[in-house]
Amino acid sequence: MADSENPGSEVEPAPLSGGKLLLAGIALALANFVVVLDVTIANVSVPHIAGGLAISPTQGTWVITSYSVADAISVPLTGWLASRFGTVRWFIMSLLGFGFFSMMCGLSNSLSMLVVFRILQGLSGGPLMPLSQSLLLRIFPRKMAGAAMGLWAMTTVCAPVAGPILGGLISDNWSWPWIFFINLPVVALCIFVVTRLITPFETKKAKVGIDIIGLVLLVVWVGAFQLMLDTGREHDWFSSPFVVAMAIIAGIGFPAFVIWELGEKNPIVDIKVFRHRGFTVGTIAVALGFGAFFASVVLTPLWLQSVVGYTATEAGYATAFVGVFAVLMSPIAARLIGKVDLRITVCAGITWLAVMSLLRAGWSTDSDFWTLSMPQLLQGIGMPFFFIGLTALALSAVKPNETTSAAGIMSFVRTLCGAVGTAMATTAWDSASRVSRSDMVPSLNGVSETMATMESRGMSTEQARGAVDRLVDAQASTIGATHVFTLAFVIFVIAAAVVWLAPKPKAGVGMGAAH
């Protein structure tokens, strides 16, 4: 039922032009940019956050996973919220919430407080990505839809590049809370422009029903599963009653959610789209590939800072190279859609990411800056073929009226698996490091001679022992990290092989849908 009070509910306003179009487009793109930025800006800042809150670096990764999980959960709600309150109105409300909770993240003085506000920040920010895309298509003339999506895609690709650099510079030169405070002026600018220029493009409001039970089941099983992954390492996994309880809740909640959604007339997640083999295969490949990809994105700066001795700024520069070729290759990947069998380009892109993981598996504590940066730089060549091509491959398998639901599910799976991959990677790194250390210590040679040399140079016995201990820890952590990179290589190879289970696409997907 339409709301007559809504502007734009009767007559579709004319697209913007000139300076107004430029300003409005920049504002919407900035809103998308700042949400994606917050996925990676905390990556290189985790050691600073851990030090400031007196927690371990692995606990600090909760700051990343909590945001990603909340962002994933909020995506399926975007359509209902936009219908119920209006697209522009909910966009502004999401911006207000994102800005407020960004401020509260910066003011947090404990891990629990920070994680709670990161969850709320993710819930507020999640709808901004799809809503900004939708509004860009509404304010741009139809003939410039490609330019609108290009602007949106550029911010989506550039934000992960800027995140590590900004996070490093801010953490080293100011303090970690400012990685959240810098959102505030951007949010204020976006709200000002949107309220002045984009409110005429408000959509009709309708009293649309919501699948409350489905939403509750989604939050319960996803939340329990992520808590199990995040806390399992700290509590010796299934020897902890809490971890066991979370596993049971997730194990019961997930099938209950699937069964309920299959029988619901207006499901919050339209699981029926999985009947299309191409979409199912594409989603599985996205889950595997993005989990392995994001695990490396988070683990690399952690290892560089905690083991190699890089500052947050240096780690940010080393990891930011990943976006150089990604920006350059994105238009090529988009143009190949519909011209080349997508299975070929997607498989090639994922295989390329696998090779880059194998290069990382050869890192050591003696690797120089360019040896560490080169896999990051070259990885960008394969990223667009993985992200854009695989999304297009999956969406080409569904019916046109199912594209929105299918795109939402893929976005949910991609974001959730990024959080899951982060949790599993840090757990595997910790476990592999401990195993490597226990294997390494009994086989050390020349420890007495090394300590004697150190003592002859003025060190006490305890200082010499501590130096040897730190050396062993560094080597064990490096072996643990290369173990995870090797595991990521295997997962990428599996994802590349899975792609060939999809049928050859019969029709292409437009650039907007692919993004």
Instruction: Encode 78-92 in three state secondary structure.
Output: HHHHHHHHCHHHHHH
Contact 33, 158 (CB under 8 A): yes
Q: 């204020």: which residue's tokens? A: 188
Cα–Cα distance measured from residue 462 to residue 460, given in angstroms and rounded to the nearest whole number: 5
The radius of gyration of the chain's CA atoms, rounded to the nearest angstrom, is 24
User: Please, which contacts does 360-368 make with residues 24 or more away whose CB atoms are closer than 8 Å?
Assistant: 360/296, 360/300, 360/482, 360/485, 361/482, 361/485, 361/486, 361/489, 362/482, 363/478, 363/481, 363/482, 363/485, 364/478, 365/307, 365/308, 365/474, 365/475, 365/478, 367/308
Of the CA atoms within 13 Å of residue 187, those in its CB half-sphere come to 25
CA atoms within 13 A on the CB side of 454: 16
Which amino acid would we find at residue 171?
S
Sign of CA dihedral 345, 348, 350, 356: negative
Q: Measured in whole angstroms, how far is the alpha carbon of residue 123 from the centre of its chain?
A: 14
Global confidence as pTM:
0.77
Number of neighbours of residue 434 by Cβ within 10 angstroms:
13
What's the CA gap between 48 and 179, in Å, rounded?
11
Cβ 429 vs Cβ 484: under 8 Å:
yes
Q: What angle do CA 21, 27, 28 make, to 5 degrees?
A: 90
Q: What's the CA gap between 32 and 20, in Å, rounded?
A: 18
pLDDT in tens, the chain (515 residues): 344 444 444 567 777 778 888 888 889 888 988 888 887 787 778 788 888 888 777 677 778 778 878 887 887 777 778 777 888 899 999 999 999 999 999 998 888 899 899 999 988 988 888 888 778 878 888 777 667 766 776 777 677 667 777 888 888 888 889 999 999 999 999 999 999 888 888 878 777 677 788 888 988 888 888 788 777 777 777 788 888 998 999 999 999 998 998 888 878 777 888 889 989 999 999 899 988 988 888 788 888 888 888 887 888 888 777 777 877 887 788 778 778 888 998 999 999 999 999 999 988 888 888 898 899 889 888 888 887 788 888 888 888 777 767 777 887 888 788 878 877 888 888 888 888 888 777 766 666 777 777 767 777 777 777 777 778 888 888 998 999 999 999 999 999 999 999 888 765 454 444 44
Is residue 45 within 8 Å of 105, Cβ to Cβ?
Answer: no
